Amino acid sequence: MSIYITGTGSYIPEIVKKNQEFIDAKFLNSDGSDFKVSNEIIIKKFKSITGIEERRYARNDHNASDLAFFAAENAIKDANIDQETIDYIIVSHNFGDIKHGTKQIDQLPSLASRVKYNLGINNPDCVCYDLIFGCPGWIEGVIQANAFIKAGIAKKCLVIGAETLSRTVDTNDRDSMIFADGAGATIIEKKDENFNHGILSHKTCTFSAENTFDLFLGDSFDSNNKSNNKYIKMYGHRIYEFAITKVPQALKDCLEASGKSVTDVKKIFLHQANEKMDDAMVDRFYKLYDTPRLENVMPMSIGKLGNSSVATIPTLFDLVKNNKMENHSLKKGDIVLFGSVGAGMNVNAITYQI
């Protein structure tokens, strides 16, 4: 038996927010003091580190569950399945639905139940739940779907990553430029075959001794902001140092569990968090094998789409799979790696054969 991704779909919001649109922002240090340099310099440095030129924001009348629904429709169509045969809907996110103009997190009912409702699925045996696992949530959802199918309690699972991070940011924090909105979805199915393709191995770790609160909800940097609202915050340098150590090792452990060689790997799909960080993670992965890095091994979407957390990898995979990224394509038999790091701090990986 092989367990495959038989359908992919994504939803990329239509509102484009370019770097230059932050030129009049009032960015502050964490202690509330002004920066000693201009926004022009801040934005230029931001671009050189993250690779982000622009990002996408959801329409005011769309919430995360709506984006998840749009991506799910595309994945179901791509897989050419009857949606009533889906056994599980797993939606990975971090903040639920946040209506435009508010900061209130809404997860009642679950986003997965909202997606099922919007899809019009009537089958009560289609079980829905949300997965809160930080940015690695979509990968972990696929790992769980794989387990359900292996256990014989499911045949088809819909796994979605969706987020509207633009509604969680502190506009006085320059890190607000990183975050974006979007959704990516996949159909996971079993195929009765004599050879082992699809999901070959996986690896998950949670490092909660020292790094648990490297990503957190905190107060605005503006001391004059007297609201009780909390905003997404992070210790960027700590996360960078953590990621470039833990993710390469997780990728290596995962690949070795599959029985495949580093020379077999054709593409590495990493969470689109920071171009410099992702590049460093791939470099370190190959250094663990003392082998040259494969040219053009890492597709990147962050430059145009920003960091949409759990949505980044399924969106990126959908784009490459459908030949929508220049100089990147996949063919039958290719070995690829999925890897992510995020709040918790969680790290995970999958070895997958197309």
Gap between the Cα atoms of 260 and 306, Å rounded:
32
Query: In this structure, what DSSP letter does residue 37 have?
Result: S
Phi then psi dihedrals of residue 7, to 5 deg: -155, 140
Count CB neighbours of 303 within 10 A.
Answer: 15
Is the pLDDT at 196 greater than 90, yes or no? no
Gap between the Cα atoms of 115 and 92, Å rounded:
12
Phi then psi dihedrals of residue 33, to 5 deg: -80, 160
> pLDDT tens digit string along 204-219?
999 988 899 999 999 9
Residues 40 and 141 grouped into a single domain: yes
Q: How confident is the model at residue 228 (pLDDT cuts 50, 70, 90)?
A: confident
pTM exceeds 0.85, yes or no: yes
Tally the domains of the chain: 2
Which three-class secondary structure string do you get for 190-243?
EECCCCCCEEEEEEEEECCCCCCCCEEEECCCCCCCCCCCCEEEECHHHHHHHH
Residues 183 and 301 grouped into a single domain: no
Q: In the prediction, which pLDDT does 348 show?
A: 98
Query: In this structure, what DSSP letter does residue 22 have?
Result: G
> pLDDT tens digit string along 22-41?
999 999 999 999 999 999 99
> pLDDT tens digit string along 84-137?
999 999 999 999 999 999 989 999 999 999 999 999 999 999 999 999 999 999
Residues 206 and 164 grouped into a single domain: no
Residues 270 and 176 grouped into a single domain: no
Q: How confident is the model at residue 265 (pLDDT cuts 50, 70, 90)?
A: very high
Contact yes or no for 112/69 (Cβ under 8 A): no
Residues 247 and 265 grouped into a single domain: yes
Residues 217 and 233 grouped into a single domain: yes
Contact yes or no for 137/163 (Cβ under 8 A): no
> pLDDT tens digit string along 297-333?
999 999 999 999 999 999 999 999 999 999 999 999 9
Higher pLDDT, 250 or 1: 250
Q: In the prediction, which pLDDT does 194 show?
A: 66
Residues 80 and 167 grouped into a single domain: yes
Residue recorded with tokens 């609201």:
227
Residues 140 and 218 grouped into a single domain: no
Residues 95 and 205 grouped into a single domain: no
SS3 call for 105? coil
Q: What is the chain's Cα-based Rg?
A: 20
Residue recorded with tokens 């790992």:
143
Burial class of residue 224, CB neighbours in 10 A (0-12, 13-18, 19+): exposed
Q: What is the CATH number of the domain that holds 341?
A: 3.40.47.10
Residues 46 and 169 grouped into a single domain: yes
Residues 143 and 14 grouped into a single domain: yes
Residues 327 and 180 grouped into a single domain: no
- 247: containing domain: 198-222+229-353
